[in-house]
Amino acid sequence: MRAITKIGGVATAALLATTVLAGCGSSDSGEIKIGAIAGLTGAFITDDVIKTAKRVFDDVNDQGGINGKKIDYIVKDDAGNPQRTAQVARELADADVVAMTGSASFTDCDVNDAFYRQQKISSIMAVAATPKCFQSPNIAPVNVGPFTLMTAELLYASQTLKDDKLCNFTVVLPGSEDAVKNALEQWTKITGKQLAVNDMTVQQSGDLTPYLLKAKQAGCDAIMFNPSEQLVVPFLKAAQTQGMSDVDFLLLAPAYTDSVAKAVGGLGLKIYAGSEFEPFTADSPANAPWKDAVTRAGAPASAFSQGGFLAATFMVQVLKGIKGDITRDSVNQALKTMQPISNPMVGSPFLFGPGDRHAPNQASKIVELKDSKWNPIGDFITVPSS
């Protein structure tokens, strides 16, 4: 994962400003139109998601398609701009897509949730990060997301590392405060424990030392920190300066990158991170099909490309189970009535289902930083249902 950009207030305006007649979406043209929104230009690029998802669909097309019909994968670039995010969703609706698959836009859910409901468009999302993505009847992300990941990492610290005094220092992005609180409360409900420190006032810039001093004063055994990738390195270097080599540092998915590993691997700290799927650095049988696809797609091996692979793989399986015409209505019905799909890359089966919100991926594997490399340890940690 990578850093998450803020979603401006223009998102709501963009949503209200544009309307379009409802489209039924059909495969009458002989093609099955699938849409996606991603950042192909701009400051935040997610084209590795799209390249990998397209490779999955191309492989299906090379084998004859779905009941003889090829998949037409229509990808729209929103450049990280909320107004553009709203516009391209309407372009895809006008193009009669039967569903969305593999979207990787950090403004998509907040901007387009109401529109997807109105147009009866379902989305199997590759990369979801904001609370709205996990609170919509029309969106089901394949990734764990930051909130379930927080609960899973706290469970690892308290149950496996046997840490007693756990502390949380959180950068709260707009609209995510309740989701963060719920994630922390979920850990408390499961374990009966309370955080020794819960600081949700961390800023995205400035000196991070005061937070570390606060943790030292409280005697924290483990510190969970959720910054963007840019803040991880100065935070951990400041921790080394403070002599905190006996503390377990728990980082979220944005820190699980090769660049972070190289930058802080020699600090002598105990550093852990949570993965969205089977750790992308793992040379495991579970990752073999994805690695084959991502290599042929010419995309980097990353958690993002894993999300694209899984979203497309799950959609293909759903489409193959549809009897008769593949339309927006038949895809929606298939998603609502589908059986759970198991895949070794994820610790919990994928299920869209009929609910009013979807967070099917409730499992993460922990990676530990050793010798400037992330090393997977243990099995998936599944967060129990509340």
Going by C-alpha positions, the residue among 297, 259, 263, 264 that lies closest to residue 281 is: 259
The residues facing 376 across adjacent strands are 367
Q: How many CB atoms lie within 10 A of CB 17?
A: 11
**Four-residue CA torsion sign, 82, 308, 318, 142:** negative
- For the cut 90, the answer to whether the pLDDT of residue 7 exceeds it is no
Residues 6+ apart with CB under 8 A from 58: none
Phi and psi at 275, nearest 5°, equal -100, 155
pTM across the whole model: 0.91
Lowest mean pLDDT, pick from 235-239, 254-258, 325-329: 254-258
| Strand 363-370 with 373-382, pairing | antiparallel
Structure tokens at 385: 């249902």
CA 70 to mean position of chain CA atoms: 28
Question: Which runs of consecutive H residues, i.e. helices, occur in 72-208?
Answer: 82-94, 108-119, 146-155, 177-191
Helix 209-218 crosses helix 229-241 at what angle (to 10 degrees)? Answer: 50
- For the cut 60, the answer to whether the pLDDT of residue 180 exceeds it is yes
Q: What is the pLDDT of residue 26?
A: 52
Q: Which H or E run contains 307?
A: helix 303-320
Report, as an integer, the average pLDDT of 326-344: 98
- d(CA 360, CA 127) in angstroms, rounded, equals 13
Residue type, 338: M
Q: How many CB atoms lie within 10 A of CB 115?
A: 18
Q: What is the pLDDT of residue 11?
A: 39
Tens-place pLDDT, residues 219-246: 999 999 987 778 899 999 999 999 999 9
**Four-residue CA torsion sign, 334, 340, 343, 349:** positive
Q: What is the pLDDT of residue 173?
A: 85
What domains sit in the chain, N to C, each tagged with a CATH number?
10-145+284-355 (3.40.50.2300), 146-275+364-382 (3.40.50.2300)
- d(CA 125, CA 146) in angstroms, rounded, equals 15
Phi and psi at 272, nearest 5°, equal -130, 155
Q: How many CB atoms lie within 10 A of CB 45?
A: 17
Q: Which residue has the tokens 């990578």?
A: 2
- d(CA 224, CA 211) in angstroms, rounded, equals 12
- For the cut 50, the answer to whether the pLDDT of residue 9 exceeds it is no
- d(CA 156, CA 137) in angstroms, rounded, equals 30
Q: What is the pLDDT of residue 99?
A: 98
Q: What is the pLDDT of residue 307?
A: 98
Residues 6+ apart with CB under 8 A from 15: 86, 111, 112, 114, 115
- d(CA 371, CA 358) in angstroms, rounded, equals 38
Q: What is the pLDDT of residue 19?
A: 32
Q: What is the dihedral of CA 59, 64, 69, 73, to 10 degrees?
A: 10
Q: What is the pLDDT of residue 386?
A: 57
**What value does the mean pLDDT of the chain take?**
91
